[in-house]
Amino acid sequence: MNNDQLTAEERLSRQKHGLAKVVKHAYNNSPFYRRLFDAAGLHPETVATPESFHKLPFTTKNDLRGAYPYGMAAVPLDDIVRIHASSGTTGKPIVAGYTRSDLDYWAQSVTRICEMAGVTKKDIAQISFGYGLFTGGFGLHYGLERLGATVVPFSSGNTERQLSLMKDFKTTVLVSTPSFAIYMAETARDLGYDPLSFGLKIGMFGGEPCSDAMREEIEKQWGLKVTSNYGLTEVVGPGISGECGQRTGMHILDDLYYHEIINPQTGEVLPRGEAGELVLTPLFKEGFPVLRYRTGDITRIVPEPCPCGRTTPLMDYITGRSDDMIIIKGVNIFPSQIEEVLAAFREVSPHYQLVLLKDKGFIKDLEVQVELAQEGFTDRYKELELLGNRIRQRLRSTLSMSPRLKLMEPKSLERTTGKAKRIVEMEVPDLEK
Ligand code: DLL
């Protein structure tokens, strides 16, 4: 049976089976979950159904941090055959351990995501995600290999060599972050290649948001079809949801990953269609199971069915993270709001950075730094001043505050071969406004 076209009853029956299995496994084998159930006065039977699951407390990033390194294990360490970890910038990373069966479960999920994106065994897929503790490289690798595609495990970095092999190997699928795809196109042109001449067909992009503007830019530059896919280390890695060719959102493999959308302030489960924080439970994970994991990612379930015929629910593109809200001068700002404003100006490029200006550790102001677009670049003062004023005005009306704005020369912001770093902090004593 095709798991992407289950009827509502079939789906529910799989979910019931999965929930009962994973809840019992976590309770019986994970000291972390045994304590959590006991403290809440719960027993597996009382929470292991879709109707009662909401009674179980959430698991948070802090819980996983506190369990560093092996506190989330629910099998003897002898049975863990792989470890990945998130690249947390502060504190200890979050560790995920996989049994052999977990690796199989993960590869199956990624294979389905790749098929949805339109990849077939005829494709040559170049993986430009880092191979290492990050789940991107190995995650896509085993899923694509299982599908039968020809995998080029390049890993991240070394952009010029990537391009040269990409051309020689006649790569058809590029697997990377969307920001790296833009950087590669820029480098290709610098080297005198026309990116359109590479013949790339599909982009499988993930690990960070891909705004509509970025998507258009990548498609225009490479002549490929952009698909976005989503996942996170704590749950399994990539392979949780991904786009088909229709652009209606990312199909969640919900026979394998149980999802809820909650109000991030109250924790209440929201009705289908309302935007909130995504909470995930991988139904068949043995090594380091997580139940009701708060992803921090803000999205909603698209109410309309997808014309592709798959019945898996569609998750909308991530609009932000519940923890990336910046509070400046008492105003709440999400970076995605700024990205939307900038995307409306053809005169600037997709490369931007938000600098939090701090005085003795306190955020005092925000500077939006954005590169001018290469095409039509002007250094005429008057034109730049006019453009600056137009962008400032838009930022002010969208954000209800006026951040500082710095228009930068093309290619002056640092490029990344992995996830773009959009927010940086700078200590600026005695800042004046
Ligand atoms: O980024 C796993 C991954 C690798 C997914 C490759 C897709 C492709 P982490 O490093 O743990 O894992 O980061 C997970 O990245 O909570 C989201 O905030 C963000 N993220 C991942 N994919 C997307 C996406 C991997 N398609 C965190 N759109 C998640 C928006 C994404 N944000």
* Amino acid 323: pLDDT: 82
Name the more confident of 329 and 154: 154
Q: pTM score, two decimals?
A: 0.94
Instruction: Reduce the DSSP state of residue 407 to 3 states and report it.
Output: strand
Interval between CA 69 and ligand 1 midpoint (Å): 21
Q: Residue with the nearest Cα to atom 18 of ligand 1?
A: 297
* Amino acid 192: pLDDT: 96
> Does residue 229 have its Cβ closer than 6 Å to ligand 1?
yes
**80 neighbors 98 (Cβ within 8 angstroms):** yes
* Amino acid 371: pLDDT: 95
Residue 137's Cβ-side half-sphere holds a number of Cα atoms within 13 Å equal to: 18
Interval between CA 178 and ligand 1 midpoint (Å): 11
> Does residue 320 have its Cβ closer than 6 Å to ligand 1?
no
Instruction: Please write the tens of the pLDDT for every residue from 253-266.
Output: 999 999 999 999 99
Interval between CA 44 and ligand 1 midpoint (Å): 30
C-alpha to C-alpha distance for 290 and 232, rounded to whole angstroms: 12
> Does residue 221 have its Cβ closer than 6 Å to ligand 1?
no
Please report where in the chains the tokens 């790749």 appear, as a residue. 114
Q: Identify the sign of the CA torsion 366, 60, 269, 313.
A: positive
Domain 326-427 has CATH 3.20.20.70: no
Closest to 356 in 3D by CA, of 398, 322, 404: 404
C-alpha to C-alpha distance for 175 and 252, rounded to whole angstroms: 19
| Maximum Cα interatomic distance, the chain, rounded to a whole number of Å | 70
Q: Where in the chain is the domain with CATH 3.40.50.12780?
A: 1-322
> Does residue 293 have its Cβ closer than 6 Å to ligand 1?
no
Q: Where in the chain is the domain with CATH 3.30.300.30?
A: 326-427
Please report where in the chains the tokens 């010029």 appear, as a residue. 160
Interval between CA 176 and ligand 1 midpoint (Å): 11
Chain CA centroid to CA 14, Å: 26
Q: In what helix (H) or strand (E) does residue 368 lie, and over which residues does it extend? A: strand 362-372
Domain 1-322 has CATH 3.40.50.12780: yes
Interval between CA 320 and ligand 1 midpoint (Å): 12
Closest to 320 in 3D by CA, of 306, 332, 312: 332
Q: Read off the pLDDT of each residue in 332-355 and give the average, rounded to a whole number.
A: 93
**Is 60 exceeded by the pLDDT of residue 53?**
yes
**Is 90 exceeded by the pLDDT of residue 202?**
yes
Question: Where does the pLDDT of residue 89 fall: very low under 50, low under 70, confident under 90, or very high at 90 and above?
Answer: low
Instruction: Please write the tens of the pLDDT for every residue from 308-321.
Output: 999 999 999 998 88
> Does residue 260 have its Cβ closer than 6 Å to ligand 1?
no
